[in-house]
Amino acid sequence: MPGSGHSLRAAALLAFVVLSILVSLLISSVQQFGARLAHFNDTTPAGGGGGGGGDEEAASLRSALIYQLNERRNEVILLLPADDDGTGQPGGTPRSAGLDPGSDFNLWNEITEGSRRSHMDEMGCDSLVDMRAVEVLGSGYTKLVVKVNLAQGQSVALKLVNEQGIDMGKCVEDFKDPQRCRELVSYKLKKEIVLLQRLQHPNVIKLRGHCAGSGTEGGRVAVILEQGTPLQMIQLLQSPWEDRFRVCLDLVRLLHFLSRSPLGSVALLDFQPRQFVTVSGALKLTDLDDASAAETGCAADADCTLRFPHRNFSLACSARGACTGLNEKMNIYNAYRYFFTYLLPHQAPPGLAHLVDRIMNSTGELKTDINQTLEAFEHILHLYKSGLHLDNLPPSVTRDYAVMRGMATSGDVEYRCWPSYSQQGCVLSVHGAREAAFICNSHSQCNSFTLSGHKTWAGRVLASFRSGFSHLVPDGKSEVYVKRAKAGGASAV
Ligand SMILES: Nc1ncnc2c1ncn2[C@@H]1O[C@H](COP(=O)(O)OP(=O)(O)OP(=O)(O)O)[C@@H](O)[C@H]1O
Ligand SMILES: *[C@@H]1O[C@H](CO)[C@@H](O)[C@H](O)[C@H]1NC(C)=O
Ligand SMILES: *[C@@H]1O[C@H](CO)[C@@H](O)[C@H](O)[C@H]1NC(C)=O
Ligand SMILES: *[C@@H]1O[C@H](CO)[C@@H](O)[C@H](O)[C@H]1NC(C)=O
Ligand SMILES: *[C@@H]1O[C@H](CO)[C@@H](O)[C@H](O)[C@H]1NC(C)=O
């Protein structure tokens, strides 16, 4: 078994060397469309020690780099769960500084030397043999993310060191040692592996496994993740309020979890939409290398100021010398400034607008903690799902319509509305016939609507609104409503 494990790992490593080359070709061809042509400024040869009097300088550079490698390694080791006699469940107590001999070094060894299969049913190097790179999903300062199809037919996202990223570039420029630099940068991937294992939550991307090289291949690490879709803020701004609310709600659920995580209260230091993806509409955090569970120490309240570009907040210094709730508050305000201000107020349902305004104010002023914020969001979700926010709509509006159950329409005369779930016509989510009738009455072109059997994530019904149609067709799952008052033009009822 160990023998076959080694050859599998070798095959997988070879596969992702090939993959890296493919991907760098892909990227450079993409860059050529941009203003700047990608230039391949060959870095110093890996083994090159420089010439003449540079030996001393090279030695001091090397020791500086090795020092940094050790620092990064220790940073990751601090995040390992306390050893728990192999039960596989972390103890739940936040770790404090200092190298704990009780750390779960099995986990560490498996991360640094290959793949971990013991505790969970995770993928390892062998899953990557014969994989095929499909497209680049994204890249950043540190990492490159590629969609790959595995031999078994699944597609996953693979995170690798971004050879052309700023992190690698800076390191190679400073130290002229691509191999050790790759190893240095790969600690960010290793940190992410540990954090993904310890911070499992529906709104954190799922770790499917990993594959790592050892020895001189120590810099070759691939993190295998469930595949998502990068969060497109522009696209989200144009989508229905329901979908934008979902992103904000998911974010709050995530922050609630992070405030009392197995690592303590975790702050996301780099809080940007590009750190998130969506998987079937659910928001998931994917970039964890900037997560920190560190507390900010203080001697007085004055040491606990939370600074943002347009706003400062003063926090209290606790008796044991830590800024109270700093990580949680930092997350809430960042959620407010990067997400809520853009996604939440715009086109909120009238019956919920006052509750949305209240959330905007309490998060923008840091007046509520994450528990209260989550409660406020879940309350809105409850009202929205149950239709209680529509209580002031007159029940009589549906009397203006004749209903035909078990029917759908064909030969539709469509019109467009915004923000519609369909490009061609006007498709909106409703709680039921009453809300749909109210909407139809407010659209001058609307003469009939159909309630379909399709539901949104919040359980609301998709309704299509139209000017007319040519005939009815049987459809057990839907209902057609036709306006009575106006003789509906094209409608052949
Ligand atoms: N599982 C995934 N599915 C789809 N796309 C992903 C996935 N994970 C990451 N991405 C995309 O890849 C990009 C880069 O990943 P990541 O943010 O981890 O790299 P990074 O180098 O740390 O980036 P940054 O410079 O923003 O910190 C992300 O912005 C995201 O769009
Ligand atoms: C290559 O890099 C060096 C130093 O980093 C720079 O001075 C030079 O202009 C680069 N060459 C090209 C072709 O960009
Ligand atoms: C926040 O505090 C800093 C430093 O004390 C100060 O320079 C800045 O003007 C303050 N910003 C705001 C918006 O109050
Ligand atoms: C919150 O409400 C108060 C009082 O109406 C107002 O002065 C303040 O600007 C609001 N803050 C935010 C962030 O909306
Ligand atoms: C927040 O909720 C959690 C349970 O979800 C609870 O353990 C914790 O004490 C609450 N915190 C505050 C400040 O109320």
Q: What does the pLDDT read at residue 216?
A: 61
Alpha carbons 237 and 23: distance in angstroms, whole number: 31
Alpha carbons 234 and 398: distance in angstroms, whole number: 36
What's the rounded mean pLDDT across residues 79-100? 48
What's the rounded mean pLDDT across residues 423-439? 96
Q: What does the pLDDT read at residue 320?
A: 92
What's the rounded mean pLDDT across residues 403-408? 96
Ligand 1 centre distance from Cα of residue 140 (Å): 6
Q: Which residues contact 444 (CB under 8 A, 6 or more apart)?
A: none
- Whether residue 303 is contained in a domain is answered as yes
- Whether residue 107 is contained in a domain is answered as yes
Q: What does the pLDDT read at residue 83?
A: 60
Q: What does the pLDDT read at residue 396?
A: 87
Pocket test for ligand 2, best of 28, 37, 39, 41 (most atoms within 8 A of CB): 41
Nearest to 419 by CA among 335, 339, 350, 348: 348
Question: Of 100, 270, 301, 400, which one is the catalytic site residue?
Answer: 270
CATH classification at residue 76: 3.30.200.20
- Whether residue 489 is contained in a domain is answered as no
Residues 362, 404 within the same domain:
no
Number of Cβ within 10 Å of residue 334's Cβ equals: 21
- Evaluate if residue 80 carries a pLDDT over 70: yes
What's the rounded mean pLDDT across residues 78-104? 50
Ligand 5 binding pocket (C-beta < 6 A) is: 369, 371
Q: What does the pLDDT read at residue 127?
A: 82
Residues 54, 22 within the same domain:
yes
Nearest to 323 by CA among 343, 297, 342, 347: 297
- Whether residue 488 is contained in a domain is answered as no
- Whether residue 270 is contained in a domain is answered as yes
**Ligand 3 site, residue 302, Cβ cutoff 6 A:** no
Residues 40, 183 within the same domain:
yes
Which token pair is 293?
A: 């569970």
- Evaluate if residue 3 carries a pLDDT over 80: no
- Evaluate if residue 96 carries a pLDDT over 50: no
Alpha carbons 72 and 85: distance in angstroms, whole number: 26
What's the rounded mean pLDDT across residues 79-96? 51
- Whether residue 493 is contained in a domain is answered as no
Q: What does the pLDDT read at residue 105?
A: 61
Binned at pLDDT 50, 70 and 90, residue 44 comes out as very low
CA-based diameter of the chain, in Å? 95
Q: What does the pLDDT read at residue 41?
A: 32
Containing 487, the helix (H) or strand (E) segment is: none
Ligand 3 centre distance from Cα of residue 136 (Å): 41
> Could you give phi then psi for residue 309, rounded to 5 degrees?
-50, -40
Position 357, amino acid: D
Sort 307 into a burial class: Cβ within 10 Å, 0-12 / 13-18 / 19+.
Answer: exposed
Ligand 3 centre distance from Cα of residue 312 (Å): 6
User: Do residues 279 and 247 touch, judged by C-beta distance below 8 A?
Assistant: no
Q: Choose the weakest-confidence range: 400-409, 441-450, 478-487.
A: 478-487
Ligand 2 centre distance from Cα of residue 41 (Å): 6
Binned at pLDDT 50, 70 and 90, residue 152 comes out as confident
- Evaluate if residue 52 carries a pLDDT over 60: no
Binned at pLDDT 50, 70 and 90, residue 14 comes out as low
Containing 223, the helix (H) or strand (E) segment is: strand 221-225
Integer distance in angstroms from the first to the last C-alpha of the chain? 73
- Evaluate if residue 483 carries a pLDDT over 90: yes
- The partner residues of 389 in beta bridges, in order of sequence, read none
CATH classification at residue 328: 1.10.510.10
Q: What does the pLDDT read at residue 20?
A: 62
- Evaluate if residue 203 carries a pLDDT over 50: yes
Domain boundary (195, 225, 255) is at: 225
The residue with tokens 């597609």 is 155
Domain boundary (386, 409, 438) is at: 386
* Residue 237 belongs to domain spanning: 232-386
* More confident: 416 or 103: 416
Q: How far is CA 174 from CA 180, 216, 403, 458, in A?
A: 12, 20, 74, 52
What's the rounded mean pLDDT across residues 59-69? 92
Q: What is the pTM assigned to this prediction? A: 0.84
Whether 270 is catalytic is yes
Pocket test for ligand 1, best of 148, 160, 269, 286 (most atoms within 8 A of CB): 286
The predicted-structure confidence for 106-149, as pLDDT tens digits, reads as follows 667 666 665 555 455 588 887 887 788 888 899 999 999 999 99
Domain boundary (184, 208, 225) is at: 225
User: Do residues 95 and 78 touch, judged by C-beta distance below 8 A?
Assistant: yes
What's the rounded mean pLDDT across residues 226-247? 95
What's the rounded mean pLDDT across residues 465-475? 96
Q: What does the pLDDT read at residue 68?
A: 93
